[in-house]
Structure 1
Amino acid sequence: MRAIWQRYCEGKEPAALTIDKQGEARFADDEHPMHLLHPATEKTTLEEAEVFRFAFEGKIVTVDNGSILTSTPGFTNLQKLGAFATIAFDPSSKVKNAQQLQQQGELHHYPHVVLGDGQDATLHVCLDPAMSATLEPLPADEQLSGNKQATRVIARLPISTLRLDDIEGLESVDWLLLDNLNDSLAILESGEKALANTLLVQVRVNFFPTHQNQPELTQISHWLSRHGFSFYRLNNLQHYSHQPKRDDLLKQQATQLIGADALFIPSQQRIETLDTHRRAKLAFILHSVYQIHDLTFSLLDQEKTSSGEKYLESNGYLKKTNPTINEKQKARVYINSGKPKICIGVPVYNEESHIHETVASLKRQNIDGIKFIFSDNASTDKTYEIAKSLSSDDPRFEITRNSENVGAADNFINLFKDSSSEYFMWLGAHDCLSENYIAETARILDNNKSVSMACGYPFGIMNGRAFGPVEEAIYDFKQPSPADRYLSSVATLSNCTVFHSLFRRKDLDGFEFRKTISMDHTIISRLLWKGILQYSENAKYFRRYFQKRESTVEERILGREGSLERNDFFDHHISDLEKLQGAQRNEKLIKKVEMILKSRFK
């Protein structure tokens, strides 16, 4: 999907797409694979989320033995970046949410399978599952006191090991992670071919052994140095405390180093031979996983372009050459004379936790002839007061309040009906826009009459963290035929962030607003009948996602308890399609749309 989107943004005609074994996307009329653009790691604030972009071919092929990466909470964030293809061998079945993780990104999960020398082995199941291993635990009298019970074996199960070089279709590995509970040295010795071009190796090592024959750091380092790697640093240091665990202790100190993750990168001689894309992949791993910025800069700077300097600026090591947002705002006076060209409608209900970010992002829109209209739907918190206060110094804002909760549907609809402008856009009250988002999307509509919907690159926010781009929110609705675009939207729309596109108000002339489930689907399909969807790479839409909602969809739409029937949604869609067709009614298209709707939204 990312490859299709990038081709679309480059203005190229559609072509057949193939994906090879390494995950590289190649179009039929291109000599080389598509250079995929990837975001940097997550940022805490939206201003920080104006991220430096890495570009390289294909995905980063990652092999995770023991699931030390896949079982961590941070793996979900890596999945969302869309840059990794991970193969996880999970001998003790630690990963319980594999199916969920596979929906978020490319993951091949193999429970009760482990890398090794290809011989049969034994899985020693311990009282603490985190200590289960193919290496046998040391006797209790050789363990630290905290591990005596944890390493007690309660079962022994047969398990086969797999040689890294024998994995069919795995020609090379970009990033290898090895745990400390299986024979890392045997894995390396059985994977010389697969590791010939590896960019980074992470090996968990013990400085106080817990299992028999755990390879020492010196052994691992010696093998890797003979195969073109250099030790870089220790990461994720683990310490043991000799203090007793007592309730009356005000604090605990742990000073004995018992384990760490050793990082190995290609030797300097090998780094100098890396091509642009492999160097970019290594830089991306160092930045997004380990927050190593100095070596990342060094790798990017070797390209003799400005990418190294841009990276330093993006990550706060250099002062930005452009004026800051606040400086530009202080020097800017906004003038609205008469009817605004653009209206941004913001339906609001109980958003006191997020409304300040939404208002701030709109104040960063450096554009005249615009109105930001907030309709507070009788919030029971301080949303209205906060929005009123924060926007009081900007004449482009208009904050209104309903005397009672009319439901989300009517609040959305009234914002459109009660405003007047050439262009219109609905903005979620907990969502945010990148700087100059409106100017960028308006420019698309101004310059291309075939475009009916203009929007930015879709990002997400969850638990205060920005991430993205969100691949499932990117669509290719560029078909020349209105019917084809309409049909494509009916068949594929799922994540409807594109509903928040800027569009021409006249394209909804004659549209009958109805309070139905998924009314946004019907509106998007109608707008696509009028023209194509166009993304701006210079604009980002930050949509906030919630893990759980207290109210039902019907309660939010209606503003009260009630039920909505799917058949009403189907009827609304078909009725509007018939209006769009006018006298040129296409019964075959209508029946096809109806069939797809009912099969997708039963």
Structure 2
Amino acid sequence: MTADATTPARAASPLLGLLPPTRPTHVLDVGANPVDGDPPYRAMLEAGLCRVTGFEPQPEALAELLARKGPYETYLPDALGDGAAHTLFIAAASGMTSLFRPDPRRLGLFNGFEEWGRVVAEVPVVTRRLDDVDGVEPFDLLKIDVQGAELMVFQGGRRKLAEAVAVHTEVSFVPLYEGQPVFGDVDRELRGQGFVPHAFAAVKRWPIAPVVFGGDFRLARHQLLEADVVYVRDFGRPEEMTDGQLSRLALLAHHVYDSTDLAYHCLRQLTARGVARPGAANAYLAALG
């Protein structure tokens, strides 16, 4: 797949003229269930600038993804994890299905979650380590939301993650599942693999039951529950990144996360290496207005 020069994204993007992609950006979407709406890379996908390989073990969610997928999307039924046999706990709310058993005591602390996390079925499943999935080609962005099993996937994918430049992951501050790793566990693992936090893409706060503010049981004050955190390859150590990694980090920074400063930094590094033309970084900023 190539990004056609007439696509709206190419016409509108000041970066593509300065840093033409040598190949489409590859996104790996683990837990691709569309329950939360459009993924963060949607605009890039629609412009033909990336391709997606998704994993979704829930049959109904997988069927929906397959029914509406475009030409640059592939979806597989595998449950990624540590390669061991587990139980998949099917929850009343599809988005809460997990390899970890929902914890009723914790769920009861937050409005609505006691019902959403109610287990309606238990299905035996054999997980696969990401590093053991031969059909997955090198990817640039890992987007993952697997209700507590993120750490399991990261640990089972260290070899393939070494090629990636960004990870968009859900993290939990208050565990809703038994034995669920929390933010500190995930942060330690990703830092150990050479990533640093870049942005909070979303922060979910939730009211502590039974308090309801303004008649809306979802309206929160301060209690943190979960967040989507974007990690990027440590840009403070550019010497540890290839030209391709710097280029794809710049493209993701601009097209997915509106991170102008990170894209500029990558362009400067590429200019110093003779990959981008002199003045490319300043031309990029000037074109943004």
Normalized against structure 2, the TM-score is what? 0.83
Q: What is the correspondence of 1:168-183 to structure 2 with a 5 Å cutoff?
A: 168-183=134-149
Q: 1:100 to 1:49 in 2, by over 3 A?
A: farther
| Cα pair distance change 1:76/1:188, threshold 3 Å | closer
- 1:371-405, Cα deviation, whole Å (9 max, x unpaired): xxxxxxxxxxxxxxxxxxxxxxxxxxxxxxxxxxx
Give CA-to-partner distance per residue, 1:300-351, whole Å, 9 cap, x none: 12233222122212322xxxxxxxxxxxxxxxxxxxxxxxxxxxxxxxxxxx
Q: 236, 250, 257: which one pairs with 1:290?
A: 257
Counterpart secondary structure, 1:149: helix
Amino acid at match of 2:288: N
Partner of 1:222: 188
Distance 1:59 1:231 in 2: 24
Percent identity for Structure 1 against Structure 2: 24
The residue that corresponds to 2:203 in the other structure is: 237
State the shift of 1:287 in Å: 1.6
- Letter paired with 1:313: A
Local SS of the residue matching 1:157: strand
Counterpart amino acid of residue 246 in structure 2: R
Match of 2:127 in 1: 161
Going from structure 1 to structure 2, the CA distance change for 1:107 and 1:158 (only over 3 Å counts) comes to: same
CA RMSD of aligned residues (A): 2.9
Contact 2:88 2:99 in 1 (8 A): yes
8 Å contact 1:231–1:265 — kept in the other structure? Answer: yes
Q: 1:89 touches 1:110 (CA, 8 Å); kept in 2?
A: yes
**Residue number among 266, 283, 286 corresponding to 1:310 in the alignment:** 283
Do the aligned residues in 1 keep the contact of 2:203 with 2:228 (CA within 8 Å)?
yes
Match of 1:215, SS state, is coil
Given that residues 52 and 310 in structure 1 are in contact (C-alpha distance below 8 angstroms), is that contact kept between their aligned partners in structure 2?
no
Corresponding position: 1:116 with 2:117: no
Q: Does 1:206 align with 2:169?
A: no
**Aligned pair partner of 1:301 in 250, 268, 284:** 268
Which whole-Å CA distance do the structure 1 matches of 2:237 and 2:267 have between them?
15
Taking the TM superposition and a 5 Å limit, the aligned residue runs for 1:68-467 are 72-74=37-39, 76-92=42-58, 93-94=60-61, 97-99=64-66, 101-103=68-70, 105-111=71-77, 113-140=78-105, 142-143=107-108, 144-242=110-208, 243-244=211-212, 247=215, 252-268=219-235, 270-304=237-271, 305-316=278-289
Is the CA contact (8 Å cut-off) linking 1:38 and 1:83 kept in structure 2?
no
Give the letter aligned to residue 206 of structure 1.
S
Q: Deviations over 1:344-376 (max 9, x none)?
A: xxxxxxxxxxxxxxxxxxxxxxxxxxxxxxxxx
Would the aligned equivalents of 1:86 and 1:107 in 2 still touch at CA under 8 Å? yes
Amino acid of the structure 2 residue aligned with 1:293? T
In the alignment, the residues of structure 2 paired with residue 234 and residue 260 of structure 1 have an alpha-carbon distance, to the nearest angstrom, of: 7
How far apart are residue 262 of structure 1 and its match?
2.0
CA separation of 1:69 and 1:198: change in aligned 2, threshold 3 A: farther
Secondary structure, in 3 states, of the residue corresponding to 1:285?
Answer: helix
Higher relative contact order (CA 8 A, sep 6+): 2
Please list the CA deviations of residues 468-508 of structure 1 after superposition, one character each: whole Å capped at 9, or x if unmatched. Answer: xxxxxxxxxxxxxxxxxxxxxxxxxxxxxxxxxxxxxxxxx
Report the counterpart of residue 29 of structure 2 in structure 1: 64
Deviations 1:404-461 (A, max 9, x none): xxxxxxxxxxxxxxxxxxxxxxxxxxxxxxxxxxxxxxxxxxxxxxxxxxxxxxxxxx
Following superposition, the deviation at residue 193 of structure 1 comes to: 1.2
In the alignment, the residues of structure 2 paired with residue 50 and residue 197 of structure 1 have an alpha-carbon distance, to the nearest angstrom, of 25
Contact (CA 8 Å) 2:106, 2:176: kept in 1 or not? Answer: no
User: Unpaired runs of 5+ in structure 2?
Assistant: 272-277
Contact 1:206 1:258 in 2 (8 A): yes
Q: TM-score scaled to structure 1, two decimals?
A: 0.42
CA distance in 2, matches of 1:116, 1:145: 29
The DSSP-based 3-state class of the residue aligned with 1:67 is coil
Q: Between Structure 1 and Structure 2, how many residues are aligned?
A: 275
Residues 1:312 and 1:301: Cα distance change in structure 2 (over 3 Å)? same
* Aligned partner letter, 1:127: A
Pairing of 1:542-561 with structure 2 (within 5 A): none
8 Å Cα contact 2:247/2:270 also seen in 1: no
Q: Which residue of 2 aligns with 1:338?
A: none
Bigger radius of gyration? 1
Give the letter for the 2:283 counterpart.
K
Report the Cα distance in structure 2 between the residues aligned to 1:89 and 1:67, rounded to whole angstroms: 6
The equivalent of 2:274 in structure 1 is none
